[in-house]
A and B are shown apart, each in its own frame.
Chain A
Amino acid sequence: MSAPLIWIVFPLLISVLLWFIQSRTKLVLVISLALCTLLALIALLQPIGGIVKIGPTSVELKTTLILLGRSFILENKDRFFLVFINFAAVFWFFGARISAAPTKFIPLSLAIISFLTAALAVEPFLYSAILVEIAVIISLPMLINPGEPIGKGMLRYFIYQSLAMPFILFAGWMLSGSQANPSNSSQMQFAALLLGLGFAFWLAVFPFHVWIPEMASEGHSYVTGFLLSCLPPVYLLIMLKYLNGLIWLKDAAFLAPTLQTVGIVMIVTGGVWAATQKDLKRLFGFAVIIESGFSLICISLQSQAGNQLFYLSLIPHMLSLGVFAYALASLKKHEIDPDLSNLNGLIRTYPVLFISIICSLFSIIGLPLFAGFSLNLGLFAQLTGNVSLIIWIFLGYAGLMLAAFRLLIVLIGYTGKKWAITESLGDLFFLVTGDFVLLLMGIFPSIFIGSIWKIFAPLLTIT
Chain B
Amino acid sequence: MDNWFNLIPVLLILAASLAMLVFDEWQRSIVALAILYLGVFILLVQLVPLTLSAVKLITGWAAALILGLNLPKGESTTTEGLFSNRIFKALSLVLIWVLAFLVSKSISSSFQISPEIVFSALAIFGAGLLQLGMKFRPFSIILGILTVFAGFELLYASVETSVLINGLLSAMNLLIALIGSYFAGFNQIEERS
Q: List residues of A whose CB falls within 8 A of some B CB.
A: 67-70, 127, 130-131, 133-134, 137-138, 140-141, 144, 147-150, 152, 155, 158-159, 162-163, 165-166, 169-170, 173, 187
Cα–Cα distance between A144 and B180 once the two chains are bound (Å): 12
Set of chain B residues within 8 Å of A169, measured between Cβ atoms? 152, 156, 160
Provide 10 A-B residue pairs closer than 8 Å at the C-beta atoms, listed in order of the A residue. A67-B164, A69-B163, A150-B183, A150-B186, A155-B136, A155-B138, A162-B145, A166-B125, A166-B156, A170-B156
Map CB proximity to A onto B100-130 as digits: 1 under 8 Å, 0 otherwise.
Answer: 0000000000100000000000000100000
A68 engages B156 (CB within 8 Å):
no
Set of chain A residues within 8 Å of B149, measured between Cβ atoms? 162, 166
Chain A minimum-CB-distance residue to B156: A169
Cα–Cα distance between A141 and B178 once the two chains are bound (Å): 10
Cα–Cα distance between A461 and B167 once the two chains are bound (Å): 35
- Which positions 176-193 of chain B face chain A at CB distance < 8 Å? 176, 179, 182-183, 186-187, 189-190, 193
Set of chain A residues within 8 Å of B156, measured between Cβ atoms? 166, 169-170, 173
Which residue from B171, B175, B190 sits with its C-beta under 8 Å from A149? B190
Distance in angstroms from A40 CB to nearest chain B CB is: 27
Chain B minimum-CB-distance residue to A166: B152
Cα–Cα distance between A166 and B165 once the two chains are bound (Å): 13
Cα–Cα distance between A152 and B193 once the two chains are bound (Å): 14
Cα–Cα distance between A163 and B132 once the two chains are bound (Å): 10
B175 engages A148 (CB within 8 Å):
no
B186 engages A144 (CB within 8 Å):
yes
Which residue from B125, B162, B179 sits with its C-beta under 8 Å from A140? B179
Q: Is B148 an interface residue (CB 8 A)?
A: yes
Q: Is the interface of A mostly helix, strand, loop or mixed?
A: helix
Set of chain A residues within 8 Å of B189, measured between Cβ atoms? 147-149
Distance in angstroms from B175 CB to nearest chain A CB is: 5
Q: Is B159 an interface residue (CB 8 A)?
A: yes
Q: List residues of B whose CB falls within 8 A of some A CB.
A: 110, 125, 132, 136, 138, 141, 144-145, 148-149, 152, 155-156, 159-160, 162-165, 167-169, 171-172, 175-176, 179, 182-183, 186-187, 189-190, 193
Which residue from A130, A141, A159, A173 sits with its C-beta under 8 Å from B141? A159
* A130-B169, A137-B172 known, 19 other contacts, Cβ within 8 Å: A68-B164, A68-B167, A69-B163, A70-B162, A70-B164, A70-B165, A127-B165, A131-B168, A134-B175, A137-B179, A141-B179, A141-B182, A148-B189, A158-B145, A162-B149, A166-B125, A166-B149, A166-B156, A169-B152
Set of chain B residues within 8 Å of A127, measured between Cβ atoms? 162, 164-165, 168
The verdict on A166 contacting B148 (CB below 8 Å), with A141-B179, A149-B189 known, is yes
Which of A138, A140, A147, A166 is the most central at the interface, judged by chain B CB atoms within 10 Å of its CB?
Answer: A166
Which residue from A68, A159, A170, A173 sits with its C-beta under 8 Å from B132? A159
A138 engages B175 (CB within 8 Å):
yes
A130 engages B165 (CB within 8 Å):
yes
Cα–Cα distance between A155 and B144 once the two chains are bound (Å): 12
B190 engages A134 (CB within 8 Å):
no
Cα–Cα distance between A170 and B160 once the two chains are bound (Å): 10
Set of chain B residues within 8 Å of A150, measured between Cβ atoms? 138, 183, 186-187, 190
Chain B minimum-CB-distance residue to A160: B132
Distance in angstroms from A4 CB to nearest chain B CB is: 13
Chain A minimum-CB-distance residue to B153: A166
Set of chain B residues within 8 Å of A170, measured between Cβ atoms? 152, 155-156
The 7 closest A-B pairs by CB, nearest first: A68-B164, A149-B190, A166-B152, A70-B164, A137-B175, A68-B163, A130-B168
Cα–Cα distance between A256 and B175 once the two chains are bound (Å): 37
Set of chain A residues within 8 Å of B190, measured between Cβ atoms? 149-150
